[in-house]
Amino acid sequence: MTVRLPLALAGRQGGALAGRQGDPRPGLSGVGGEALEAWLREHGEPAYRARQLQAAVWDGTTRAATEVTTLPRALATSVDEAFRWSTVDDAEIVQADGGETEKALHRLGDGLTVESVLMHYPARPGQRARHTLCISSQAGCAVGCPFCATGELGFERDLGTAEILDQVRSAQARLAKQEDGARLTNIVFMGMGEPLLNLDRVLEAVEALNDPAKLGLGARHITVSTSGVVPGIRRLTALGPQFTLAVSLHAARDALRDVLVPLNRRWPVAEVVAAAREHARATGRRISYEVTMIGGVNDTDVDAEALAALLRGDLAHVNLIPMNAVAHTPWQASPMPVIERFAGHLKAAGIPVTIRRNRGQEIGAACGQLAAQRAGEPAAPAVARRRQRLEAESARALLGERSSEPVPAGVR
């Protein structure tokens, strides 16, 4: 079933909409408890009103402060004038996998769009049903991994704390409607953007997700994925366990990783893994390594052996994910027997490995694909040039040549 609500996308990512001005009111979900209490004090209201408001923000059904019956009418009106109840619209909802996967395209106040994906995993013997939400941390991404639709869009801006949290509130509200009383069980920062390049806001959002007065989801049920921002990993290590850290590795050899994850030109794979290893040691929490399996590019025996040598003995788990086809690349997913063979090498080295199912292929459930499709396909000659360049770059990388391309612009 496909539900389409009107979405007037203008230009790439709808960036031209609303002249980028948007609504200046802060999103209520991103306002911390103390700041909200201070605002209420200024309006002559007691501190407990902050808790009433927060409970309504997270109850999944209330659409405005004026709907909160316990609030005085004048106060509710002032709240709605000062704050936005939500900073994201559900501009489009698309379902796939017989309703097990649901992708939402959210429009932000300035017309940009980001995505979240809600995945339902039915109950199995010994395991309750799970509802996992994949959310975005930035509009676009500066890292520019060539197999990723978000990378192709380029960087637009960081999301604010409320914009991150409101994706979760939107999904929680839809979930509660679908299944009476159902709650999100897992949240993964694996949508658009590089969370460790927007770490302050991501940490604020995680704190709210943990907060029993808000979503109340335990740190073990939250995963943040990074393409390898070493200073960000070190900062997380100093903070202690906040969530599961996933590292998008894709290749263990620098030459190939330079092409697949351009950030590797700044922080090479050995540095990334050393920082992740230290994080695992300091927090006692296993690192998840992600490898998007690309046919004939990073799925050879040599790659499997290099990965096994890199991670042998670490507190780590490897997820192998078949690549979702993306229009602008010349590449396809590795065939399943090749992925199984690759997994065999890792298992033989004692490294735990899981082959992940590719969810929502028909709706482009990989990172940024729907937003890229809605932004309009790039012109055919541009796609052909990009494919040629990727073929040449990856061929050189497979011969072991490091990239001479610069570090992506916008990576601080």
Closest CA to 64 of 50, 49, 83: 83
Burial class (CB in 10 A: 0-12, 13-18, 19+), 72: exposed
Number of residues that bind ligand SAH (CB under 6 A): 17
Among 101, 113, 324, 394, binds ligand SAH (CB under 6 A): 324
Which residue out of 102, 115, 152, 194 is catalytically annotated? 115
Residue 367 interacting with ligand SAH (CB under 6 A): yes
Where does this chain touch ligand SAH (CB under 6 A) — which range of 45-53, 177-185, 251-259, 322-330?
322-330
Residues 198 to 227 in contact with ligand SF4, rule: CB under 6 A: 227
Closest CA to 174 of 55, 90, 258, 286: 90
Q: Is 145 a catalytic residue?
A: no
Query: Rounded to 5 degrees, what are φ and ψ at 237?
Result: -60, -40
Q: Given the complex with ligand SAH, which of 28 and 114 has the nearer CB atom? A: 114
Given CA atoms 145, 148, 154, 160 in this order, what sign does their dihedral have? negative
Residue 68 interacting with ligand SAH (CB under 6 A): no
Q: Given the complex with ligand SF4, which of 106 and 345 has the nearer CB atom? A: 106
Residue 156 interacting with ligand SF4 (CB under 6 A): no
Q: Is 141 a catalytic residue?
A: no
Residue 324 interacting with ligand SF4 (CB under 6 A): no
Please give the sequence-ordered ranges of beta strands (E in DSSP) within 222-315, or none if there are none.
Answer: 222-226, 244-248, 287-293
- Which does residue 190 touch among ligand SF4, ligand SAH, none (CB within 5 to 8 A, set by kind)? ligand SAH
Contact 290, 173 (CB under 8 A): no
Contact 191, 227 (CB under 8 A): no
Q: How many CA atoms lie within 13 A of 138 on its CB side?
A: 24
Q: What is the chain's Cα-based Rg?
A: 22
Where does this chain touch ligand SF4 (CB under 6 A) — which range of 126-134, 167-175, 189-197, 344-352?
189-197
C-alpha torsion 121→352→343→305, nearest 10: 150
Among 145, 171, 217, 339, binds ligand SF4 (CB under 6 A): 145
Among 118, 141, 165, 323, binds ligand SF4 (CB under 6 A): 141
Among 223, 244, 292, 403, binds ligand SAH (CB under 6 A): 292
Q: Given the complex with ligand SAH, which of 39 and 331 has the nearer CB atom? A: 331
Q: How many CA atoms lie within 13 A of 329 on its CB side?
A: 24
Among 109, 151, 160, 322, binds ligand SF4 (CB under 6 A): 151
Number of residues that bind ligand SF4 (CB under 6 A): 13
Q: How many angstroms separate the CA atoms of 410 and 412, rounded?
A: 6
Q: 127: which DSSP letter?
A: B
Q: Given the complex with ligand SAH, which of 84 and 201 has the nearer CB atom? A: 201
Query: In the complex, which residues of this chain contact ligand SF4 (CB under 6 A)?
Result: 141, 143-145, 148, 150-151, 192-194, 227, 248, 367
Q: Which residues are catalytic, by number?
A: 115, 367
